[in-house]
Amino acid sequence: MPEGDTIFRSAVQLRRAIEGRAIDRADVWDRLRDSLLGGLAGRTITAVEARGKHLLMHLSQGGAIHSHMGMTGSWHLYPAGEPWQKPASYAALTLTFDGLQAVCFTPKTLEHLSSDALRRHPHLSGLGPDLLAGEFAMEEAVARLRGAEGTPLGVAVMNQRLVSGIGNVYKSEVLFLQKLDPFADVAAYSDDELRAVLAVARRHMLRNLDGRPRATRVGAGARLWVYHRSGGPCLKCEGPIAMQRQGEAGRSTYWCPACQPSRRSSDGSAGCPDPR
């Protein structure tokens, strides 16, 4: 699934290519979306922004095109007449500009929102602080995580209503780097530990905005410490990396049981240190 850094890079690329340009033609390939994407031709893209894992193309006369890429979605840019890299059957929307096309492939969400709908949108209006924002609201994010006590840390950090931008890769990698048990309750961790998780996630996400393959380690060998390395040796202690499904969505969590010792009590709950 695209994470916050991927969507941020997409927004930068789209901003450079289409911001300030008028849409000459809009073609909806998915007929189920016809009613959601009408009235785009003739509008100008006034701004492109990423909000966590959501991408917004703001329009002249108000409103925006809202997309969420889900597991497999992406925006592509093509000079006019250039063959697409994906089959046309995967396309949901094509925006044609003078000499350029922007194509949205297999999005989870794609809709044309009015200004009022944008303000009231249940997902956008409820997003937590964005890790890639110019001024990240650290204390608000920590407070939101603290309010999720009763939730495993590995689930909480991926809840976009608590903090926006972290996906499966960064969840596993950052909790490994911080030596934290992903299955222990948020209550098991101090505010300083939560701040450190967010700071390390933000640092790695910012570092990965250059378009190269996502990495959390440098040097020879694997680019990632634990993600997709189940059964392989830990690159720190050489013990086996484990994987377990977590949360209602059953998302995969990778961790090193030796480097990330359990903070769960014998009854499965977390111990609760003073959060301050």
Look-up of token digits 């769960």? 264
Instruction: Say whether 135 is catalytic.
Output: no
| Cβ 39 vs Cβ 72: under 8 Å | no
Instruction: Say whether 3 is catalytic.
Output: yes
DSSP strand pairing (45-51 vs 100-105):
unpaired
Instruction: Say whether 111 is catalytic.
Output: no
Helix (H/G/I), strand (E/B), else coil: 166? coil
Instruction: Say whether 213 is catalytic.
Output: no
Helix (H/G/I), strand (E/B), else coil: 217? coil
Amino acid at 57: M
> Pick the catalytic residue: 2, 107, 129, 152?
2
> Pick the catalytic residue: 3, 33, 107, 144?
3
Which residues lie below 8 Å from residue 147, measured CB to CB, with a gap of 6+?
A: 162
**Cα–Cα distance, 149 to 72 (Å, whole number):** 31
> Pick the catalytic residue: 21, 236, 251, 264?
251
Look-up of token digits 């096309």? 101
> Pick the catalytic residue: 33, 43, 51, 53?
53
Phi-psi region of 65 (alpha: psi -120 to 50; beta: other; left: phi over 0): beta
Give the residue numbers marked as catalytic.
Answer: 2-3, 53, 251
